[in-house]
């Protein structure tokens, strides 16, 4: 793991990997990537580098161009964000996301348990979705529906939850959250697609206020490399882990 961390805005944001012109950051939940100038992730990163000439030089950073996010995460989702501060690097990385050659892996704490054979083998959710975000009463959304697939695999279960690994095979808005809700296993803490009762219970009894969804891994070709490699987060966040592990674990799947 990279030893660099972005210490800004009262946060310490780990840098998982970095190189000339790029960074892979582990974004905390609750922090917008780019929608709050002066207080969002990119603002904090750019301010940090602007005040540290040696680190800036090692990453080919200039304040005039700054870091730009290559991928996006919702404010409520934690995990890996790839950012670039040179146009040629930004274009190289963005093309991989646009051509859907990047493999994205998430980990989530889901409500409930899957059938035993499904836990062991995993499966694919193939629910079609509308292009736009929906809500808890109709997570599929109205109007035109588009084909949509998410691969899932259960890693472990506790008394009330399943820890799952999820791979979106298509790219609809809130795809994992909507598919999880439609499967009957909404993401814990999902205020948009989860039940009001579960949200109230988590907040009142466990003081758990976040979405239990973490962007855990990216497989892509990094600048200067010939072959793809997999970059992983340093585990799921402590609050997600505590929610799962303190829920009287029953048995591990692996």
Residues 48 and 90 in one domain: yes
**Ramachandran region, residue 189 (left: φ > 0; alpha: ψ -120 to 50; beta: rest):** left
Nearest-angstrom CA–CA distance, 211 and 30:
9
| Number of domains the chain contains | 2
Residues 231 and 118 in one domain: yes
Residues 2 and 122 in one domain: no
Between the alpha carbon of residue 249 and those of residues 73, 162, 165, 235, 244, the distances in Å are 29, 10, 17, 18, 8
Residues 107 and 219 in one domain: yes
Domain boundary among 72, 99, 126: 99
Structure tokens at 31: 């922090």
Domain boundary among 99, 126, 146: 99
Residue 181: enclosing H or E segment and its boundaries? helix 175-182
List, for residues 168-190, the tens digit of each pLDDT value.
999 999 999 999 999 999 999 99
Check whether 1 has a pLDDT greater than 70.
Answer: no
CATH code of the domain in which 136 resides: 3.30.2350.10
Residue 38 sits in which domain range? 1-99
74 is catalytic: yes
59-88 mean pLDDT = 97
Between the alpha carbon of residue 199 and those of residues 44, 88, 103, 109, the distances in Å are 30, 44, 30, 13
Residues 79 and 116 in one domain: no
184-212 mean pLDDT = 97
Residues 73 and 177 in one domain: no
Residues 149 and 74 in one domain: no
Structure tokens at 232: 């992983």
223-233 mean pLDDT = 97
List, for residues 134-178, the tens digit of each pLDDT value.
899 999 999 899 999 999 999 999 999 999 999 999 999 999 999
Query: What's the pLDDT at 249?
Result: 62
Residues 56 and 156 in one domain: no
Nearest-angstrom CA–CA distance, 189 and 216:
18
Residues 235 and 114 in one domain: yes
Residues 125 and 6 in one domain: no
Number of residues that make up the chain: 254
Residues 172 and 205 in one domain: yes
Residues 242 and 203 in one domain: yes
- Dihedral (Cα; 86, 88, 89, 91), 10-degree rounding: 120
pLDDT band of residue 84 (cuts 50, 70, 90) is: very high
Catalytic residue of the set 74, 138, 239, 247 = 74
Angle 190-191-194 (CA atoms, 0-180°, nearest 5)? 60
CB 110 within 8 A of CB 188: yes
215-244 mean pLDDT = 97
Domain boundary among 53, 77, 99: 99
What's the whole-number average pLDDT of the chain? 94
Check whether 254 has a pLDDT greater than 50.
Answer: no
Query: What's the pLDDT at 250?
Result: 59
């Amino acid at each position: 793991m990279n030893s660099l961390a972005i210490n800004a805005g009262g946060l310490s944001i780990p840098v998982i990997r970095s190189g000339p012109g790029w960074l892979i950051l582990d974004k905390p939940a609750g922090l917008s990537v780019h929608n709050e100038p002066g207080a969002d992730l990119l603002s904090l990163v750019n301010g940090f580098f602007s005040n540290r000439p040696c680190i800036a030089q090692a990453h080919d950073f200039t304040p005039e161009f700054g870091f730009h996010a290559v991928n996006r995460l919702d404010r409520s989702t934690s995990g890996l964000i790839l950012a670039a501060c040179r146009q040629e690097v930004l274009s190289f990385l963005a093309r991989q996301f646009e051509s859907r050659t990047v493999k994205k892996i998430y980990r989530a704490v889901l409500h409930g348990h899957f059938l035993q054979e499904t836990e062991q083998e995993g499966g694919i959710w193939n629910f079609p979705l509308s292009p736009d975000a929906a809500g808890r009463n109709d997570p599929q959304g109205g109007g035109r529906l588009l084909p949509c697939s998410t691969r899932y695999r259960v890693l472990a279960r506790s008394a009330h939850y399943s820890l799952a690994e999820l791979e979106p095979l298509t790219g609809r808005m809130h795809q994992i959250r909507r598919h999880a809700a439609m499967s009957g296993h909404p993401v814990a803490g999902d205020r948009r697609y989860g039940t009001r009762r579960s949200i109230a219970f988590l907040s009142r009894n466990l003081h758990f206020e976040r979405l239990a969804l973490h962007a855990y891994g990216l497989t892509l070709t990094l600048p200067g490399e010939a072959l793809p490699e997999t970059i992983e987060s340093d585990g799921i966040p402590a609050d997600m882990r505590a929610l799962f592990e303190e829920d009287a674990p029953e048995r591990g799947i692996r």
